[in-house]
Amino acid sequence: MIDPRTLRSSALNAFDPAHAVGDFDRDEPFEIERTVITNDDVADLAGVPFAADSCVFAGCDLSVTDVIGVRNSLFVNCKLRGTRFGRFVRNVVFDGCQLAECSFRMMALETVTFEACQLVGSDFYESSLTQIVFPGSSIEGVGFDRCVLTDVDLTGASDLRIGDSETSVRACPALSGLVSFTVVIPTNLAGHFEPRPVWSRHVWLGSVASC
């Protein structure tokens, strides 16, 4: 497995907008491989769902974009607001990125680093997360309902939504450094929910096992 950070010094292709425009099958993403994408290239990807392998995204505004699978790639100083990720994110580094209200729903994330990032209001509903770390990142209002978390380091995170009884936490020793999270509990039969902040050094919520 390559370290995505080494792609900075690799001989990658320049983005060719001719391949991104014109007719394409919306049921299958446009595939980008071994390419450097800058913010000047992003306009050519507008409205085009894409997948990436061994790419570097440098200073891109990828807000409200569909990223349908990304592996072995590096995002540096990117803005991702309302970005929709799909299928999988594998062996990826987000470095100095802003991720607000991003969707990581019902997918697989494996060996992902969010380094010095800001994650606000993003949603990982019903996803599988394995070997995920957030060094130096700010995490707030992020949802992990019905997720399976394995070896996930959430040290210093706050206001997390881990309230679903089907959420499973496995082999996450660094969760002992969790500052706070929000439990969402139904308060009446009408289906209304009340967020309750819980302060704890260990997690135990129904099937959410203590680490």
SS3 90: strand
67 lies in a domain? yes
21 lies in a domain? no
Q: What separation in angstroms does the CA of 195 have from each of 100, 125, 145, 163, 198?
A: 20, 17, 13, 9, 10
Q: Tell me what pLDDT residue 211 has.
A: 38
What is the side-by-side order of every strand in the sheet holding 181-186?
160-161, 181-186, 193-198
What is the distance between the alpha carbons of residues 139 and 130, in angstroms, rounded to a whole number?
Answer: 17
What is the distance between the alpha carbons of residues 121 and 208, in angstroms, rounded to a whole number?
Answer: 21
205 lies in a domain? no
Under-70 pLDDT residues of the chain? 2, 6, 8-29, 156-159, 161-211
97 lies in a domain? yes
**In this structure, are residues 62 and 38 in contact, taking their beta carbons and an 8 Å threshold?**
no
Query: Residue 142 — φ and ψ, nearest 5°?
Result: -100, 135
pTM equals 0.76
Q: Tell me what pLDDT residue 82 has.
A: 94
Q: Tell me what pLDDT residue 27 has.
A: 58
**In this structure, are residues 125 and 106 in contact, taking their beta carbons and an 8 Å threshold?**
yes
186 lies in a domain? yes
Domain total for the chain? 1
What is the rounded end-to-end Cα distance, in angstroms, of the chain? Answer: 28
Which domain CATH number covers 41? 2.160.20
Query: Residue 78 — φ and ψ, nearest 5°?
Result: -100, 155
Q: Tell me what pLDDT residue 175 has.
A: 54
Owning domain of residue 39: 4-8+32-198
- 173-195 tens-digit pLDDT: 555 444 444 433 333 444 444 44
Residue 167, by phi and psi: left (phi above 0), alpha (psi -120 to 50) or beta? beta
185 lies in a domain? yes
- For residue 42, the 8-state DSSP code is H
CA triple 174-177-182, angle to 5 deg: 105
